[in-house]
């Protein structure tokens, strides 16, 4: 088991990284503002589920495949980019006004899947975990896979805290903004543009 002297600094660094602008927290911010804090939390749970999968993938060494195989990396990042373009299209043509008020309740399961797919389809997450988590592993303690799993779980807890705060505050403020159909439509357009930008950034990513 890793000592507290290692886990606490790691937890602090993870909190800071969670606050750094990136696809996941931008996704939470936009969706929470558009659909409310509850919907934002559903997406956060989806994203954290994806992080859980990434943690176990890295722990058993499968993440090395993406580093060794340019084809695997290219395929996964292409899938992620296409999915982001799909989200951009949905955001652009999203309904406003009364029709949009029921989106959060109707699409709870769909929003959760969005969070999972959003995270899993970004190969940079695995690459990041492969580069970041081993830095805190103590080789002398053995059980490297268990140590990496522990670190991954701590990172997920930190991400859950940060993303939940983003979902709450952006979702609460978003409810006020979305009382105006014009504001809601503008936010949908802005979200669409952001998703296209994220898709372009992911598509141009390199190992």
In this prediction, residues 134-140 reach a mean pLDDT of 78
Q: What is the pLDDT of residues 157-201, one digit of tens each?
A: 999 999 999 999 888 876 666 566 777 777 778 878 877 887 887
What is the domain extent for residue 108?
Answer: 22-203
Could you tell me if residue 17 is inside a domain? no
The least confident of 8-17, 36-45, 80-89 is 80-89
Short-list 84, 85, 61, 66, CA closest to 149: 61
What residue has token string 């081993």?
134
Residue 9 in domain: no
Q: Would you say residue 5 lies in a domain?
A: no
* Residue 44 forms part of a structural domain: yes
**Which pLDDT score, from 0 to 100, does residue 121 have?**
84
**Is 7 inside any structural domain?**
no
Is the confidence at residue 98, as pLDDT, over 70? no
In whole numbers, what is the pLDDT of the chain averaged over residues? Answer: 80
Q: Does 66 have pLDDT greater than 60?
A: no
- Residue 135: inside a domain, yes or no? yes
Is there a domain that residue 136 lies in? Answer: yes
Q: How many structural domains comprise the chain?
A: 1
């Amino acid at each position: 088991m890793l000592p507290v002297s290692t886990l606490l600094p790691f937890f602090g660094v993870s909190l800071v990284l969670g606050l750094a602008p990136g696809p996941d927290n931008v996704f939470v911010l936009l969706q929470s503002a558009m659909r409310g804090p509850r919907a934002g939390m559903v997406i956060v749970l989806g994203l954290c589920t994806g992080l859980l999968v990434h943690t176990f993938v890295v722990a058993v060494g499968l993440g090395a495949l993406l580093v060794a195989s340019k084809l695997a990396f290219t395929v996964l990042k292409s899938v992620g980019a296409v999915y982001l373009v799909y989200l951009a299209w949905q955001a652009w043509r999203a309904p406003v006004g009364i029709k949009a008020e029921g989106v959060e309740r109707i699409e709870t399961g769909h929003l959760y899947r969005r969070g999972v797919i959003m995270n899993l389809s970004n190969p940079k997450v695995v690459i990041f975990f492969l580069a970041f988590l081993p830095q805190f592993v103590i080789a002398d303690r053995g059980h490297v896979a268990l140590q990496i799993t522990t670190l991954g779980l701590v990172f997920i807890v930190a991400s859950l805290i940060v993303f939940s705060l983003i979902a709450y505050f952006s979702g609460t403020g978003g409810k006020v903004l979305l009382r105006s159909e014009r504001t809601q439509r503008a936010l949908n357009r802005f979200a669409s543009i952001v998703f296209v930008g994220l898709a372009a950034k992911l598509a141009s990513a390199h190992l």
